[in-house]
């Protein structure tokens, strides 16, 4: 229990500022990220499958949540989170956990690296203290706004942001047990407080000066010290069919990305702990969490890889580490909300720049560019570019489409239909009026047409054609229809078709569409020898 308490506190120290920073990054107040970390840490641990995963706001969600907040506001985001929870529960119920793991590696690296670039570039505003009145719109519009506002650069903000990064890097190199982000934020917050207290010329921006909330009808700056107030996510919002139709695609994207992130985290944690996570139960746990979060102002959550790794290395052995993490954050907010409000915006941007660098996967990105087949490189660059310039939903959709096309092409390349060589033919003592084709690999829509054309070309030259299908691993409806077309064509020309070595399950499939009834046109044998020695070939 002591080890889980310690690991929970360590992860809580990391989660607290990061949750605020990620919430700010998507355009919502910092307390929404805090609420998410508190609730997600408990619910996912209790209802999920992993004993050591830590859930909460993650950087992977930033790109996909920003446009939702900008178009539909916080309430729209909360509804999306609720709907995404339903989708994740359905995914787990229908046991789609294993399918999520089939997403090709170039797609994962492509959109992960793209997310890192977007997160990093969007931190430039606060990191350099740029004054931008309207920081909304598409990615390129934001970049243009940044470039045209460089003349508002503030050395004070930059110094705070850079100091945050340098302290984190230095502290990590010393291998101290105390989290680097905690030390860094304590130092820069203290420096910011001193500077703002004695400087009349310019005030470094903090959470306190950027965010406020209402208390008893009064406007109060900073972070509320009363977390977890129950709310109705869609209160004061008119719910229409059009709104739901608009939000559903966003919700599905959140659910799929959350599932990918959670299951990837589970794979990593399983490798470190030698445990095995049930992917479907984990998805259901994440879904329950995301359905509950909106009722407390929480944004969508998923398992966080970096925090999970820290949790394991700190000695976590059970779900109690995640529960202690949530309890620590809850107590910290109640006790230190006024102090947390003095965190400078530039330091949170510096923290997110570190997060973006760590999730950029630049080594894997470069490795794919250098060593992967060109088609994988194309998929990587497509997902990377679309994630940055357009939308991650489009990036994942297009990436999966390209990967599917590539998979089909590679599967077709494995398929072959070969005319048996003369040497092989003589060894089997095959008469001249008989020909044999060896078919290897899966027969599906991509290969069926090729098989049909090859066989039909030899139809007039032989009385009997044998298809050796011992190495056929599967046959789909398109291939069965193609074979049926061959049989019908052969029947007109009095050519006999023999299928040998067919597996029982494929034999049953062909039986269902009427192959067995076509006596005189098609026959079945267990092997080529039986086919040649049968009475039909005498």
- Report DSSP letters for 55-122, one per residue: EE--GGGHHHHHHHHHHHHHHHHHHHHHHHHHHHHHHHHTT-HHHHTTS-HHHHHHHHHHHHHHHHHH
Domain ranges of the chain: 2-406, 416-537
Region 60-83: mean pLDDT is 92
Angle of helix 305-313 versus helix 345-359 axis, rounded to 10 = 90
Both tokens assigned to 53: 């995963």
Q: Cβ distance 473 to 435 under 8 Å?
A: no
434 beta partners = 464
Confidence of residue 100 (pLDDT cuts 50, 70, 90): low
Q: What is the pLDDT at residue 128?
A: 93
466 beta partners = 436, 498
Q: What is the DSSP letter of 299?
A: P
Strands 416-419 and 55-56: unpaired
CA distance 58 to 37: 10
More confident residue, 289 or 440: 289
- Burial of 519: CB neighbours in 10 Å, binned 0-12, 13-18, 19+: exposed
Compute the mean pLDDT over every residue in the chain, rounded to the nearest whole number. Answer: 84
Both tokens assigned to 479: 């291939």
What's phi and psi for 496, nearest 5 deg? -95, 130
392-412 pLDDT per residue, tens: 677 777 877 887 787 777 777
**Per CATH, domain 416-537 is 3.30.565.10:** no
Q: Does residue 383 sit in helix, strand or coil?
A: helix
Terminal CA-CA length for the chain: 80
Q: What angle do CA 362, 366, 369 make, to 5 degrees?
A: 140
Confidence of residue 447 (pLDDT cuts 50, 70, 90): low
- Burial of 500: CB neighbours in 10 Å, binned 0-12, 13-18, 19+: buried
CA distance 289 to 84: 10
Q: Cβ distance 436 to 466 under 8 Å?
A: yes
The residues, ordered by sequence, that sit 6+ positions from 142 with a Cβ below 8 Å of its Cβ are: 121, 122, 135, 136
- Burial of 96: CB neighbours in 10 Å, binned 0-12, 13-18, 19+: middle
More confident residue, 404 or 160: 160
Both tokens assigned to 265: 């985290």
Q: What is the DSSP letter of 421?
A: P
pLDDT at 536 over 50: no
pLDDT at 423 over 50: no
330-367 pLDDT per residue, tens: 999 988 888 888 899 999 999 999 989 988 888 889 99
- Mark out the alpha helices in 123-240 (DSSP H runs): 124-127, 139-147, 155-173, 180-198, 207-210
* Strongest mean pLDDT among 235-239, 353-357, 461-465, 534-538: 353-357
More confident residue, 94 or 530: 94
């Amino acid at each position: 229990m002591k080890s889980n308490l310690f690991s929970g506190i360590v992860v809580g120290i990391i989660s607290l500022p990061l949750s605020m920073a990620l919430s700010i990054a998507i355009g919502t107040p910092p307390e929404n990220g805090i609420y998410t970390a508190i609730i997600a840490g408990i619910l996912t641990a209790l209802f999920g499958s992993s004993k050591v995963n830590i859930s909460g706001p993650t950087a992977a969600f930033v790109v996909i949540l920003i446009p939702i907040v900008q178009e539909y506001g916080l309430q729209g985001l909360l509804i999306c989170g609720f709907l995404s929870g339903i989708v994740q529960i359905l995914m787990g119920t229908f046991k789609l956990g294993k399918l999520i793991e089939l997403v090709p590696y170039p797609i994962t690296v492509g959109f992960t690296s793209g997310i890192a670039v977007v997160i990093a570039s969007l931190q430039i505003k606060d990191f350099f203290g740029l004054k931008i009145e309207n920081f909304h719109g598409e990615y390129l519009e934001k970049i243009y706004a940044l470039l045209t506002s460089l003349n508002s650069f503030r050395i004070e903000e930059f110094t705070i942001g850079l100091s945050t990064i340098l302290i984190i890097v230095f502290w990590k190199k010393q291998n101290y047990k105390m989290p680097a982000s905690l030390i860094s934020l304590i130092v820069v917050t203290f420096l910011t407080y001193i500077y703002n207290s004695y400087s009349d010329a310019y005030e470094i921006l903090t959470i306190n000066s950027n965010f406020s909330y209402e208390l008893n009808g009064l406007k109060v700056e900073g972070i509320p010290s009363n977390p977890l107030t129950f709310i109705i996510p869609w209160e004061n919002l008119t719910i229409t069919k059009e709104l739901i139709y608009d939000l559903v695609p966003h919700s599905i994207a959140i659910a799929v990305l959350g599932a990918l992130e959670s299951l990837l985290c589970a794979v990593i944690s399983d490798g470190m702990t030698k445990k095995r996570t049930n992917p479907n139960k984990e998805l259901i746990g994440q879904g329950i969490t995301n359905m509950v979060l909106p009722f407390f102002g929480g944004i969508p959550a998923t398992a966080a890889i970096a925090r999970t790794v820290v949790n394991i290395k700190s000695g976590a052995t059970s779900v109690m580490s995640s529960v202690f993490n949530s309890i620590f954050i809850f107590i910290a907010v109640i006790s230190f909300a006024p102090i947390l409000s003095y965190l400078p915006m530039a330091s949170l941007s510096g923290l997110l720049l570190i997060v973006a660098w760590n999730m950029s996967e630049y080594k894997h990105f470069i490795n794919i560019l250098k060593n992967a087949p060109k088609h994988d490189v194309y998929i990587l660059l497509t997902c990377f570019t679309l994630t940055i310039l357009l939308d991650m939903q489009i990036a994942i959709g297009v990436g999966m489409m390209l990967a599917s096309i590539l998979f089909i092409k590679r599967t077709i390349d494995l398929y072959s239909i070969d005319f048996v060589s003369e040497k092989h033919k003589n060894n089997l003592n095959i008469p001249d009026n008989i020909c044999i084709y060896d078919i290897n690999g899966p027969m599906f829509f991509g290969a069926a047409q090729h098989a049909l054309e090859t066989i039909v070309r030899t139809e007039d030259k032989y009385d009997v054609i044998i298809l050796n299908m011992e190495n056929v691993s599967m046959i789909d409806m398109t291939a069965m229809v193609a074979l049926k077309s061959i049989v019908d064509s052969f029947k007109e020309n009095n050519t006999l078709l023999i299928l040998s070595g067919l597996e029982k399950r494929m034999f049953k499939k062909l039986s269902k569409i009427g192959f067995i009834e076509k006596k005189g046109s098609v026959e079945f044998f267990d092997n080529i020898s039986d086919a040649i020695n049968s009475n039909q070939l005498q």
